[in-house]
Structure 1
Amino acid sequence: MKRRISIGLAVVLLAAVVVAIVFGSGDDDPVPGQGAQVVRGVGGSEKAAFFADARVVEVFGRHGLRVEFDSAGSRQIATTVDLAQYDFAFPSSRPAAQRIKQDKKVNKVYTPFRSPMAVATFAPIVDLLTSQGVVHKGLGEYQVLDIAKYLELTGKGTRWDQLPGNTAYPVRKNVLITTTDPRNSNSAAMYLALVSHVLNDNQVVATPEAEAKVLPAAVKLFIDQGYTQSSSEGPFEDYLAAGMGKAPLVFIYESQFLDRQLRGDGSIRPDMKLLYPQPTLLSEHTLVPLKGEGGRVGELLSTDPDLKRLAAEFGFRTDDPKAFLDLLADRKLSAPADLLSQAEVPSYETLERLLNEIAKYYR
């Protein structure tokens, strides 16, 4: 009899403990963002990891927000994505953002992140292109890829195995930078803006005559690549995984490379190098509020010190350049403080006409 009572008491006590754990744990360890207002946004894939990071989720949660973020190409966001389902759009370029701002009659936009465009490559390629005069030292502790010299090679259809003294990469492939698909992706549009500037005698393309002048060479730079991916993450992941054989030169956002270096996960190996085009372009990640709390997300990204610090940890430049450079120095990394030679991006309308003309060659 006593044994039955003891067993019964044990069962009751066990049940009480389970109830206490179940009902007590919710107060002590809340799910990040639980009970917060959901804010939906769409933007470039290079920002997806930032919004998914638990620390970023926690900061937004402190402000009563839970951000759900979908990825799409910046050109798609400005032209084909149904923005009615989103509270904010976050394309990776100011021209795309301006188009959305005009279409949606938005008064204020936010530009919390910036990232220079860059070229991810490998040490043997750097040495080879240095010997050809295409790569040289910049004004600081960084190296630049001279776009005019590069276009001389592409204009002649030069193959890697035709470069004098090339024993590092004697491949029967054209010397070409790998980009994303110009029909969808902002990074490809930035590449077009960059090369068109140089092809137009280092002037922004702003007239029909200038468009006609640069198009033939610009078309070949894309079409000769063959298949291209729609998101900037695609070619960069190939660069990390497949090495020099598949794509020795890849057009990326600086933030993508720095993000991996800052993670310290070993994905950036010692032979992987970052070149800055000369001239380069600054990609301005611009948030366009559409409704609800979309504007608050832009405001917090621009002003909250924790979010700005976390953005720097993902390789983005904010309006606090010292904090960005100090973070890199603390991790024994470096990036140019200033990139003096910068090209101008054409107007949205001009860029769209150029992209639409190039798109015709994909059919």
Structure 2
Amino acid sequence: MDEPVFRPLRRFGWWWVVPPALVALVGVLALVASGTWAGPFRNVTEVRAMLASKREFFQDPEVKRILLTHGLRVHVTPVGSFDLAEKEDLDSYDFVFPSGQTANERVKERRAGKHTVPYRPFFSPVVLSTYRDYAEALVRAGAVVPQQDGGELYYDLSIETLMGLIDDKKLWTDFGVDTQNRIIVQTPDPCRTYSGAVYVGFVAFAAQRDTPKSEADTIALAQRIKSYFNVEGQHLEDMAPKYFSPEGRTFAPIAVIYEHQFIAYQAASAQPDRDRVLLYPRTAHQSVPELISFGALGDRIGELLMQDADLRKRAVELGFRLLGAGGKPEEDFGAFVSGRGLPVPRLSDTRAYLPDVPLFELMRKEVGNCA
């Protein structure tokens, strides 16, 4: 019988063990640094929210990360401001975030007698976006002037003069741009979006320099200005994605967007995009969205937006102008914008006053042929 042969176990070198250990260590350090290291080992509370255009804030990866460090995750249901305010299942959410006063007031009206707490963490002016050659054409047409210290990125706009160009069916070729298209403004749907409705208010105020005081006056004014919107054809919900796309010029030479969308785009670019510029109406309107809480979870999110330093810093990085606890603008926006090598846009002190909420509702529905 053969003697059994004993083969010693092959000895593993240290180099077989160290690489996996290093990978694990690097992973742990990355989780600790990101603030999410405890994620798999603790409860995360899901907060249900219905949001209009400001949903992009809660869809931002960095905002999601910061909220996770507080054990919170926001599940976003996207919807236009005016659709949001009329949703049948409104009460099933922890908070809503419409973009402007009209929708805010409608939500509060429907929530009468229930927990309804508003938070106003930031604001963003409604502006018009265009491209440099189109802006220079509007300078030649007398509709815009460059802002002083605007670095050729910002212009002040006369809505009245722009309306005159549309009335006269002027073409871009009339002012040196090689396209036979008419000069028009492309707006988001005023039936669904607050920015689209605000542009209705801009045009109405420019046409009359006053707000209507009765239903009859409101309908008459709406019918006067309706042609400025009918000429556009089909409305989209949000013009910003089209404007910032490489094919943006073919969709809308002038589009209504929010300032924060432009600032966030510029801040994320390696170099300022000097082909894309903003037009600031001389009679301005600031969109002050309200996060409206329906309970304890909504309150928690609202308080974090007002108090958490990381969330507020991120809001500025996404282009928003901060509001403090007293409702006054804070200085972070200007410092951030200039720190990115961009000029700080100047806001007009002149306001475009919108009609009272019931009359404004009547006006936008008449102009937009809303169902």
Shorter-chain TM-score tier = 0.7 to 0.9
Count residues in correspondence.
Answer: 345
Q: CA–CA distance in 1 between the matches of 2:111 and 2:60?
A: 30
Is it true that 1:98 corresponds to 2:105 in the alignment? yes
Equivalent in 247, 265, 272 of residue 252 of structure 2: 247
Check the 8 A contact 1:114/1:285 in 2, yes or no.
yes
Give the 3 Å change call, closer, same or farther, for CA 136–213 of structure 1 in structure 2.
farther
Is it true that 1:210 corresponds to 2:217 in the alignment? yes
Is it true that 1:177 corresponds to 2:176 in the alignment? no
Corresponding residue number in structure 2 for 1:278: 282
Within a 5 Å distance, the mapping from 1:62-141 to structure 2 comes to 62-80=69-87, 82-105=89-112, 106-138=115-147, 141=150
Q: Secondary structure, in 3 states, of the residue corresponding to 1:262?
A: helix
Q: Quick one: percent identity of the two aligned structures?
A: 27
Equivalent in 291, 314, 338 of residue 329 of structure 1: 338
Q: Deviations over 1:220-261 (max 9, x none)?
A: 12221111112x2xx222222213233110110001100101
Within a 5 Å distance, the mapping from 1:135-174 to structure 2 comes to 135-138=144-147, 141=150, 142-161=154-173, 163=174, 166-171=175-180, 173-174=181-182
Q: Which amino acid is the alignment partner of residue 156 of structure 1? A: D
CA RMSD, aligned part only? 2.9
CA drift of 1:107 comes to 4.4
CA drift of 1:93 comes to 0.5
**TM-score when scaled to structure 1?**
0.85
Q: CA–CA distance in 1 between the matches of 2:322 and 2:217?
A: 34
Give the 3 Å change call, closer, same or farther, for CA 270–36 of structure 1 in structure 2.
same
Worse-matched range after superposition: 208-217 or 90-99: 208-217
Check the 8 A contact 2:117/2:294 in 1, yes or no.
no
Q: Deviations over 1:34-59 (max 9, x none)?
A: 622111111123x3332123322232
Check the 8 A contact 2:44/2:72 in 1, yes or no.
yes
Corresponding residue number in structure 1 for 2:359: 350
- Whichever structure has more helix as a proportion of its residues is 1
Give the 3 Å change call, closer, same or farther, for CA 128–2 of structure 1 in structure 2.
farther
CA drift of 1:312 comes to 0.5
CA drift of 1:294 comes to 0.7
Equivalent in 57, 65, 68 of residue 64 of structure 2: 57
Check the 8 A contact 2:144/2:157 in 1, yes or no.
yes
Q: CA–CA distance in 2 between the matches of 1:205 and 1:259?
A: 36
CA drift of 1:191 comes to 0.8
Equivalent in 237, 241, 251 of residue 237 of structure 1: 241
Q: CA–CA distance in 1 between the matches of 2:133 and 2:346?
A: 26
Q: CA–CA distance in 1 between the matches of 2:225 and 2:119?
A: 31
Q: Secondary structure, in 3 states, of the residue corresponding to 2:331?
A: helix
Indicate the structure (1 or 2) with the bigger Cα radius of gyration: 2
Check the 8 A contact 2:219/2:363 in 1, yes or no.
no
CA drift of 1:299 comes to 1.6
Q: Which amino acid is the alignment partner of residue 198 of structure 1? A: A
Corresponding residue number in structure 2 for 1:288: 292
Q: Secondary structure, in 3 states, of the residue corresponding to 2:199?
A: helix
Give the 3 Å change call, closer, same or farther, for CA 34–150 of structure 1 in structure 2.
farther
Q: CA–CA distance in 1 between the matches of 2:347 and 2:283?
A: 12
Structure 1: gaps (5+ residues): none
Equivalent in 193, 199, 204 of residue 196 of structure 1: 204
